[in-house]
């Protein structure tokens, strides 16, 4: 039986509804009040790459880049950094990646060996390269797990691209596909306060990470070193002690809001930095999951009846809690956009990872079943994004993630979440994530967020339960077994 139609509230104005959301977010996170035109929304991978290079080329004081990895052949990006360092003796560059991903190909060419060349050329005083190593993968487990799989135990996943007083928040990594044919999201925040806040998060994470140093003695061309100035002890020598020390230095950044981190300007647009640092916080005081679930719960209240939303993730594997809250919101209309199997970055991969596109299909089908059981099939649509086929000429992959919320009676979103999180069990238990929640009453920014919603659906097609019943979409027993094995041994899709 269909759910009763949602009717927009007649008693609450959009301003009152937004205020009820910001009052909750203010309890969780620092808030930065900015002008709407200080947020720029980039559309394409190419534009993201050109913007990043242009900003680095003109950098005056600092460049800090946090990413999962930099592609081992990204010589153009490295040359851009090199030229900026040569032209400006005052410039300092710091790069943070993940140790497991960044050294995977060693002793062959790797992210670590590529970045070590910058240190060799300009010295550790001007170029710093750090690599975070999860405390969840140590000892025998680290020794026996294949490199392709070991990333399932936790990664440095924050995407923070800071240059002087501006920062690009994204889900994109720094490699050729993310610069050419992998669709993501990219928001530029032209705000010294926001850029400084994320720099403090970045700097603290660097002090919890290994330092890369060039080495002529090692075949790989680099060594990983734990500096004495770092937070002690190292994760591989004493994981529990490391987590305790990490909690002490990170918790103040997450849970307390010093004046330096809170803007005193009053604008029509608020930006909340949200962090998910679960593997490094005990007790866990991360803010992204509480913020997301808190807003979704509000959508299910009578005051927000008639709201609309769009949710997207490159890998369709939202947590059970997020899934239930999306369904419980009973929206006037809503869209979930996920990558088609033919636009999934794991399509055609060898081994267990090659089974992942089919696993995500299985999860999408289960979600559609839940939509039908809730009587919401006429209001919640699932779309698959596909532009060609991965690894063929003109084929793209889809990696965008986020949520857009449009309040009752409004045409465009006034709330959007952008950043690195995939909203999965892994995001909320194993990886380091950084995001921003935008809350705005500015009509122009609302319009631009609405345009972003639309262009991300340009290559998205609605799928039905009948589509998933077709032979080529059926998920075999081997995929279900692979999902079970990954979960059993402690990883998460």
φ, ψ (nearest 5 deg) of residue 11 = -105, -20
Residue 150 has what pLDDT?
A: 79
Residue 335 has pLDDT above 80, yes or no: yes
Please say if 362 is a catalytic residue.
no
Residue 127 has pLDDT above 90, yes or no: yes
Please say if 159 is a catalytic residue.
yes
Residue 84 is inside which H or E element, if any?
helix 75-87
Six token digits for residue 75 = 């010589």
Residue 261 has what pLDDT?
A: 46
Answer whether the bond into residue 283 is a cis peptide, omega within 30°. Answer: yes
Asked if residue 484 is part of any domain, the answer here is yes
Asked if residue 2 is part of any domain, the answer here is no
Asked if residue 264 is part of any domain, the answer here is yes
Yes or no: say if 457 and 382 are a contact pair by the CB < 8 Å rule. no
Domains contained in the chain, number: 1
Mean pLDDT of 25-31: 95
Asked if residue 8 is part of any domain, the answer here is no
Query: Which pairing describes strands 92-98 and 380-385: parallel, antiparallel, or unpaired?
Result: unpaired
The single residue of 133, 157, 298, 399 carrying the catalytic annotation is: 157
Residue 322 has what pLDDT?
A: 96
Q: What does the mean pLDDT of the chain come to? A: 91
**Chain centroid, CA 285 distance in Å:** 18
Residues 6+ apart with CB under 8 A from 412: 406, 443, 446, 447, 449, 450
Residue 315 has what pLDDT?
A: 81
Residue 403 is inside which H or E element, if any?
strand 402-406
Share above pLDDT 90 across residues of the chain, in percent, rounded to a whole number: 79
pLDDT digits (tens, 9 = 90+) for 366-382: 899 999 999 999 999 99
Mean pLDDT of 45-72: 98
Yes or no: say if 395 and 352 are a contact pair by the CB < 8 Å rule. no
Residue 456, domain CATH: 3.30.870.10
Residue 4 has what pLDDT?
A: 55
Q: Which domain holds residue 199?
A: 14-488
Residues 6+ apart with CB under 8 A from 427: 157, 276, 288, 421, 433
Confidence of residue 483 (pLDDT cuts 50, 70, 90): low
Residue 465 has pLDDT above 50, yes or no: yes
pLDDT digits (tens, 9 = 90+) for 433-455: 999 999 999 999 999 999 999 99
Return d(Cα 473, Cα 469) in angstroms, integer. 7
Confidence of residue 9 (pLDDT cuts 50, 70, 90): very low
The lowest-confidence range among 250-259, 272-281, 340-349 is: 250-259
What pTM, to 2 d.p., does this model score?
Answer: 0.94
Asked if residue 3 is part of any domain, the answer here is no
Asked if residue 9 is part of any domain, the answer here is no
Confidence of residue 349 (pLDDT cuts 50, 70, 90): confident
Residue 487 has what pLDDT?
A: 61
Six token digits for residue 234 = 């190292």
The single residue of 55, 159, 270, 308 carrying the catalytic annotation is: 159
Return d(Cα 479, Cα 359) in angstroms, integer. 6
3-state secondary structure of 210: strand
Asked if residue 153 is part of any domain, the answer here is yes
Mean pLDDT of 52-69: 98
The single residue of 26, 33, 121, 164 carrying the catalytic annotation is: 164
Residue 8 has what pLDDT?
A: 47
pLDDT digits (tens, 9 = 90+) for 297-324: 999 999 999 999 999 998 888 899 999 9
3-state secondary structure of 466: helix
Return d(Cα 351, Cα 478) in angstroms, integer. 12
Residue 469 has pLDDT above 90, yes or no: no
Residue 142 has what pLDDT?
A: 86
Asked if residue 461 is part of any domain, the answer here is yes
Yes or no: say if 63 and 84 are a contact pair by the CB < 8 Å rule. yes
Please say if 157 is a catalytic residue.
yes
């Amino acid at each position: 039986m269909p759910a009763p139609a949602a009717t927009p509230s007649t008693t609450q104005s959009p301003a009152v509804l937004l205020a009820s959301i910001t009052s909750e977010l203010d309890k969780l996170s620092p808030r930065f009040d900015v002008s709407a035109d200080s947020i720029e929304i980039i559309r394409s991978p190419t534009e993201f790459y050109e913007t990043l290079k242009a900003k680095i080329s003109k950098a005056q004081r600092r460049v800090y880049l946090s990413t999962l990895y930099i592609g081992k052949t990204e010589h153009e990006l490295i040359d851009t950094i090199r030229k900026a360092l040569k032209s400006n003796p005052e410039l300092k560059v710091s790069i943070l990646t993940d140790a497991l991903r960044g050294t995977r190909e060693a002793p062959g060419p790797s992210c670590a060996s590529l970045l070590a060349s910058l240190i060799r050329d300009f010295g550790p005083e001007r170029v710093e390269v750090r690599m975070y190593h999860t405390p969840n993968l140590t000892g025998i487990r680290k020794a026996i797990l294949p490199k392709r799989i070991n990333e399932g135990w936790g990664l440095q996943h924050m995407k923070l691209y800071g240059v002087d007083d501006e920062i690009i928040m994204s889900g994109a990594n720094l490699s050729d596909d993310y610069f050419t044919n992998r669709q993501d999201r990219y928001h530029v925040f032209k705000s010294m306060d926001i850029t400084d806040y994320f720099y403090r998060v970045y700097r603290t994470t660097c002090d919890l990470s290994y330092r890369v140093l060039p080495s002529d003695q090692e075949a790989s061309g680099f060594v990983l070193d734990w500096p004495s100035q770092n937070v002690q002890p190292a994760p591989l020598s004493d994981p529990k002690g490391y987590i305790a020390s990490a909690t002490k230095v990170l918790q103040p950044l997450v849970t307390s809001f010093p004046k330096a981190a809170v803007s005193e300007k009053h604008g029509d647009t608020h930006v909340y930095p949200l962090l998910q640092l679960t593997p490094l916080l005990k007790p866990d005081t991360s803010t992204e999951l509480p913020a997301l679930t808190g807003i979704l719960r509000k959508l299910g209240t009578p005051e927000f009846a008639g709201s609309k939303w769009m949710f997207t993730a490159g890998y369709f594997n939202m947590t059970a809690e997020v899934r239930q809250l999306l369904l419980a919101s009973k929206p006037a209309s809503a869209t979930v956009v996920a990558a088609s199997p033919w636009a999934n970055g794991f399509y055609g991969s060898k081994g267990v990872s090659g089974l992942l596109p089919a696993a995500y299909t299985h999860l999408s089908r289960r979600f559609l079943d839940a939509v039908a059981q809730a009587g919401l099939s006429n209001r919640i649509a699932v779309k698959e994004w596909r532009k060609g086929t991965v690894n063929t000429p003109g084929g793209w992959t889809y990696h965008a993630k986020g949520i857009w919320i449009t309040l009752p009676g409004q045409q465009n979103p006034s709330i959007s979440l952008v950043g690195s999180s995939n909203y999965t069990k892994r995001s909320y238990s194993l990886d380091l994530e950084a995001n921003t929640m935008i809350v705005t009453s500015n009509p122009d920014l609302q319009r631009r967020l609405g345009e972003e919603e639309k262009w991300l659906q340009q290559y998205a097609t609605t799928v039905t339960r009948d589509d998933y019943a077709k032979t080529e979409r059926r998920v075999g027993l081997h995929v279900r077994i692979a999902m079970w094995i990954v979960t059993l041994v402690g990883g998460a899709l």
